[in-house]
A and B are shown apart, each in its own frame.
Chain A
Amino acid sequence: MTWIAKPRLHHPTLARNSLGYTRRDYEGKVSTLCAGCGHDSISAAIVQAFWLMDIAPHRVAKLSGIGCSSKTPDYFLGPAHGFNTVHGRMPSVLTGANLANRSLIYLGVSGDGDSASIGLGQFAHAIRRGVDMTYIVENNGVYGLTKGQFSATADPGSVSKKGVANTDGPLDLVGLALLLGASFVARGFAGDKAQLVPLVQAAISHKGSAIIDVISPCIAFNNHAGSTKSYDYVREHNEAVNQLDLVPSRNEITVDYAAGETVELAQHDGTFLRLHKLREDYDPHDRIGAMNYLHEHQARGEVVTGLLYVDPAAQDLHAGLETVETPLNLLSEAELCPGAAVLEHINSSLR
């Protein structure tokens, strides 16, 4: 259960990152999700990504909405403040938190019900604003906590555990994010950690709204033969466009000279994204190309994964609002209050 803390004893040989933290320092409480849930694999990928990136866990703020996915921030990054907000409203609460203190790293965790159904509006507008965050949608096509209803990402024809076929059209959050102008759009699969960990790392290092749609099979309600979000279906239909590495800037940059197959992208924070292109014809800088590619493969029933689009020069909401570098929550009274003399001047202009 959630209130069970994991034992703090560390094995002395556990590897430490440059800050001296072990992976265990990035864990949270024991998960209360079903055994085998894809969401737990995503939590493990998040732990791994932050550990690898040498980010002190308490410098992260993790926010979520409501649902199985939104419970997970309690299961990783224990030393970080977390906020389990309201169904579908994580993006706005995260936006406010980000405005208050731009010096933290923001991780939003949501699900397909939370982001594609009740929260579609906030998903769209947070992307429009370019809120600097990593936004992970743990997408299983189903409402788990309320026991198996279809969500807005369920494919038509997919059959629920109770045998009901879905007749509504699906929303594809990756396609939408591309359309809405997100500066980082990726899709991962909970069952492919080798691809997912670098995607999360790249999203964290991205300045702007980084959207990762992670197909995460629901072991209880949506992992059966009729489902298009099951482990088996995704494994059989996964069309990965690239494999990613994140290269920290302090490491010596060794370029992989396999011509035409590797692209390096400099990020704002000095890191590099190294993309091993699995598809020769795929260019992650081409938003329109990404949309075409996505839709062509979707029509064939394939699930495209990998980093689909990135704008390494993206800017975030603070750039647009021209806010000061000092976090707003640290500004002093002297910096905020214009004082009595100014008010007297205002008073005299109103007579």
Chain B
Amino acid sequence: MPVTDARTVPAAPLEAVNDFVVKFANVNGSGSASANELFARAILRMGVPVGPRNIFPSNIQGLPTWYEVRISGAGHLGRRGGVDLMVAMNPQTWDDDIAEVDVGGYLFYDSTRPLAATKMRSDITMIGMPLTEICNSTWADPRQRQLFKNILYVGALAALLRIDMGAIETLIAEQYKSKPRLLEPNVQALRMGYVYARDHLPAIGLSVRRSNAVGDRIFIDGNRAAALGCVYGGATVCAWYPITPSSSLAESFQNYCHKLRIDPASGRRRYAVVQAEDEIASIGIVAGAGWNGARAFTATSGPGISLMSEIIGLAYFAEIPMTIIDVQRGGPSTGMPTRTQQADLVACAYASHGDTRHVLLFPEDPHECFEFAASALDLADRLQTPVFVMSDLDIAMNQRLCAPLAWSETNRYDRGKVMSFEQLEAGTDFGRYKDVDGDGIPWRTLPGTHPTRGSYFTRGTSRDAYARYSERGRDYVDNMERLLRKFDTARSLVPPPVPNASHRPTTWGAIYFGSTAPAMREAVESLEQAGLAMDILRVRAFPFSGAVREFIESHGPVFVVEQNRDAQLRSLLVDDFGLDPARLVPILHFDGTPITARFIVGAVKAYAHEAGMPT
């Protein structure tokens, strides 16, 4: 075995306990994903919060992929920015990977083949371990050589970072509970890596120490949580078309239903899932089911929203309940299918031709993906309109530490204003588009309810309050104005914004939403330490509640932090409240990676600097 070439360097090596960033650079399809997840989960089992993120290509095998793990005893789950320890397992991306390491940081690499000195950096600690050589001399099967190389480096990292080997071995045992044949070689590889690192590699300044900072939180990805929300919220029809990053949501729904929604007497299913031929058919199926009184949803991403827009407009005008979970990715066009963005806000808020406005919900994490998926089904029935849950790839496809999913036994589905046979039989006046209660929401009937009363003809074209065909201008205007009243009613029904006031009085404020939340909270702490106190408000729905306007009116400057190029939330705020756009300062991150706390801090400090404030 070659001697490892660990070298200490002049720049002081970073030292940190439970507060650093490890990034794994791998080749897609090499089996690294499960090894990397094992690494993150082991730290979690030690009671230390982690925020892992897959940064992966639109590819099955061969292209570069990264897994970034934020380890934060303080509980910061967003991306911080920067890398303290790079596990550089992909020669293709070596140059970029080594450049990304913070000064004083560490780089762990496979030293089987010697690397030219020009490929090294002197201001970080290089830790070489001959992984390939160890694998080749231990295993004969090429697939095993590849897979165990991943486990080997997990073992080595456990030694370097002082991760509890017991925690890792327990996780491996859980993973291979049903395949004991695989358990032993995995544990053997893990221990081999551990022993090698312990005996041959230098100690480093980063370490994990057992803590109690995880509490009762759960570790789940947003798509699974949203799928469970749809199960709990009573969705019975799901129609979908495969599209990254939403596909696993529909697949999870199907899996959970298979376990939780089987009629015990007949063994038959209390749900229907259709993988449609495209997104147009998906939303058509959802529209038909909603029209006919079933709770129905689809999961899609931006390109799917584009295709669905005509039927979404029909559903707005025909007043059909439907739930659309948009797991946003980089656009336009096919854009960056495996990268995250919050760039579908405008497309969803005004989806379709003509004058439309739709209700949007913005979950911050899997906990809210669950909650909002279930409440979207209620809101859609209550408001008789499409309701969007605006997830994104960062929340949806990464496992996130979050509060346990919550369901109260006192929850009751809100089916909205559906006129029953008894009401019709009693002679209740039925006007399908008549505003009886002043909230803009009319009553509806379901097909087949009554032999002679309550039937109506649903159209995308004009009609009067009794659903009779009409092209009269007055009827059209009355109807469109009622739809606006209904949208105003939604304002008071959607989840309210969540304020977070600074410890010190300040006029500075920031508005943010969705997956930006953890980076935003960390940035605010960091800014406050730097003397820049700021109140923040997390917006959770469109239309916005009055509290959002009050926040804007009582602060200045007001930053709007979002992950798109065109400041789309800011546009919605300006439009919804008729604001002067100059009141809102955009902070925009849209390179396809999740926004970092450092990025937000940098943007705010730059603003302060320009404003002539000391920073």
Chain B contacts with A in 191-218, Cβ cutoff 8 A: 216-218
Could you tell me if A99 and B293 are in contact, using CB atoms closer than 8 angstroms?
no
Which of chain A's residues have a CB closer than 8 A to the CB of B318?
83
Q: Mark B392-410, 1 if CB is under 8 A from A, else 0.
A: 0000000000001111110
A83, chain B: closest CB distance, angstroms: 4
Could you tell me if B455 and A78 are in contact, using CB atoms closer than 8 angstroms?
yes
* Given A122-B281, A324-B263: A80 and B452 interface contact (C-beta under 8 Å): no
Which of chain A's residues have a CB closer than 8 A to the CB of B163?
none
Q: Which 7 A-B pairs have the closest CB atoms?
A: A96-B288, A92-B284, A100-B294, A81-B447, A96-B285, A100-B292, A329-B293
In-complex Cβ contact of A84 among B294, B449, B457 (8 A): B457
B158, chain A: closest CB distance, angstroms: 21
* Given A336-B261, A351-B218: A89 and B405 interface contact (C-beta under 8 Å): no
How far, in whole Å, are A337 and B270 apart by their CA atoms in the complex? 11
Which of chain B's residues have a CB closer than 8 A to the CB of A299?
none
Q: Mark B295-339, 1 if CB is under 8 A from A, else 0.
A: 010000000000000110010001000000000000000000000
A129 within 8 A of B: yes
* Given A86-B310, A92-B276, A92-B284: A323 and B289 interface contact (C-beta under 8 Å): no
How far, in whole Å, are A338 and B234 apart by their CA atoms in the complex? 9
Could you tell me if B459 and A84 are in contact, using CB atoms closer than 8 angstroms?
yes
Which of chain B's residues have a CB closer than 8 A to the CB of A83?
288, 291, 318, 457-458
Q: Say which size band chain A's interface belongs to.
A: 35 or more
In-complex Cβ contact of A336 among B236, B292, B407 (8 A): B236
How far, in whole Å, are A239 and B236 apart by their CA atoms in the complex? 46
* Given A95-B288, A340-B407, A343-B405: A81 and B294 interface contact (C-beta under 8 Å): no
How far, in whole Å, are A338 and B458 apart by their CA atoms in the complex? 34
Quick one: closest A residue to B45, CB to CB?
A351
15 interchain pairs (CB within 8 A)?
A3-B469, A58-B448, A79-B451, A79-B455, A80-B447, A81-B445, A82-B458, A86-B314, A89-B311, A96-B290, A97-B289, A97-B291, A323-B269, A324-B270, A346-B405
Q: Mark A1-38, 1 if CB is under 8 A from B, else 0.
A: 11100000000000000000000000000000000000
Chain B contacts with A in 91-138, Cβ cutoff 8 A: none
A328 within 8 A of B: yes
How far, in whole Å, are A129 and B277 apart by their CA atoms in the complex? 11
How far, in whole Å, are A125 and B239 apart by their CA atoms in the complex? 13
How far, in whole Å, are A192 and B455 apart by their CA atoms in the complex? 31
Which of chain B's residues have a CB closer than 8 A to the CB of A61?
292, 447-448
Which of chain A's residues have a CB closer than 8 A to the CB of B456?
81-82
Question: Which of B228, B293, B450 is most buried by chain A, counting CB atoms within 10 A of its CB?
Answer: B293
Which of chain B's residues have a CB closer than 8 A to the CB of A2?
469
In-complex Cβ contact of B276 among A73, A74, A125 (8 A): A125
* Given A2-B469, A3-B470, A324-B270: A101 and B293 interface contact (C-beta under 8 Å): yes
Could you tell me if B237 and A58 are in contact, using CB atoms closer than 8 angstroms?
no
Chain B contacts with A in 203-256, Cβ cutoff 8 A: 216-220, 228, 231-232, 234, 236-237, 239
Could you tell me if B277 and A346 are in contact, using CB atoms closer than 8 angstroms?
no
B496, chain A: closest CB distance, angstroms: 24
A121, chain B: closest CB distance, angstroms: 6
A259 within 8 A of B: no
B interface with A by C-beta (< 8 Å): 216-220, 228, 231-232, 234, 236-237, 239, 260-261, 263, 266, 268-274, 276-278, 280-294, 296, 310-311, 314, 318, 404-409, 411-413, 445-452, 455-461, 468-470
Could you tell me if B278 and A121 are in contact, using CB atoms closer than 8 angstroms?
yes
A interface with B by C-beta (< 8 Å): 1-3, 56-59, 61, 63, 73-74, 78-86, 89, 91-101, 103-104, 121-122, 124-125, 129, 318, 321-325, 328-329, 331, 333, 335-340, 342-344, 346-347, 350-351
A125, chain B: closest CB distance, angstroms: 4
Could you tell me if A337 and B448 are in contact, using CB atoms closer than 8 angstroms?
no
Could you tell me if B285 and A346 are in contact, using CB atoms closer than 8 angstroms?
no
B160, chain A: closest CB distance, angstroms: 26
A197, chain B: closest CB distance, angstroms: 23
Which of chain A's residues have a CB closer than 8 A to the CB of B234?
331, 333, 336-337
B299, chain A: closest CB distance, angstroms: 15
Could you tell me if A347 and B269 are in contact, using CB atoms closer than 8 angstroms?
no
How far, in whole Å, are A139 and B445 apart by their CA atoms in the complex? 32
A267, chain B: closest CB distance, angstroms: 22
* Given A61-B448, A86-B314, A104-B447: A96 and B284 interface contact (C-beta under 8 Å): yes
Could you tell me if B288 and A97 are in contact, using CB atoms closer than 8 angstroms?
yes
Which of chain B's residues have a CB closer than 8 A to the CB of A74?
457, 469
A111, chain B: closest CB distance, angstroms: 16
A3, chain B: closest CB distance, angstroms: 5
Could you tell me if A350 and B468 are in contact, using CB atoms closer than 8 angstroms?
no
A213, chain B: closest CB distance, angstroms: 21
Which of chain A's residues have a CB closer than 8 A to the CB of B293?
100-101, 329
A128, chain B: closest CB distance, angstroms: 8
How far, in whole Å, are A82 and B273 apart by their CA atoms in the complex? 24
Could you tell me if B236 and A97 are in contact, using CB atoms closer than 8 angstroms?
no
Which of chain B's residues have a CB closer than 8 A to the CB of A324?
263, 266, 268-270
Could you tell me if A96 and B458 are in contact, using CB atoms closer than 8 angstroms?
no
Could you tell me if A100 and B236 are in contact, using CB atoms closer than 8 angstroms?
yes
Could you tell me if B457 and A82 are in contact, using CB atoms closer than 8 angstroms?
yes
How far, in whole Å, are A187 and B305 apart by their CA atoms in the complex? 37
A42, chain B: closest CB distance, angstroms: 18
Could you tell me if A85 and B274 are in contact, using CB atoms closer than 8 angstroms?
no
Could you tell me if B218 and A350 are in contact, using CB atoms closer than 8 angstroms?
yes
How far, in whole Å, are A16 and B285 apart by their CA atoms in the complex? 37
* Given A104-B448, A339-B407: A89 and B280 interface contact (C-beta under 8 Å): yes
Question: Which of A74, A80, A318, A343 is most buried by chain B, counting CB atoms within 10 A of its CB?
Answer: A343
In-complex Cβ contact of B455 among A63, A81, A91 (8 A): A81
How far, in whole Å, are A104 and B273 apart by their CA atoms in the complex? 20
Could you tell me if A328 and B236 are in contact, using CB atoms closer than 8 angstroms?
yes
Quick one: closest A residue to B310, CB to CB?
A86
Which of chain B's residues have a CB closer than 8 A to the CB of A338?
231-232, 260-261
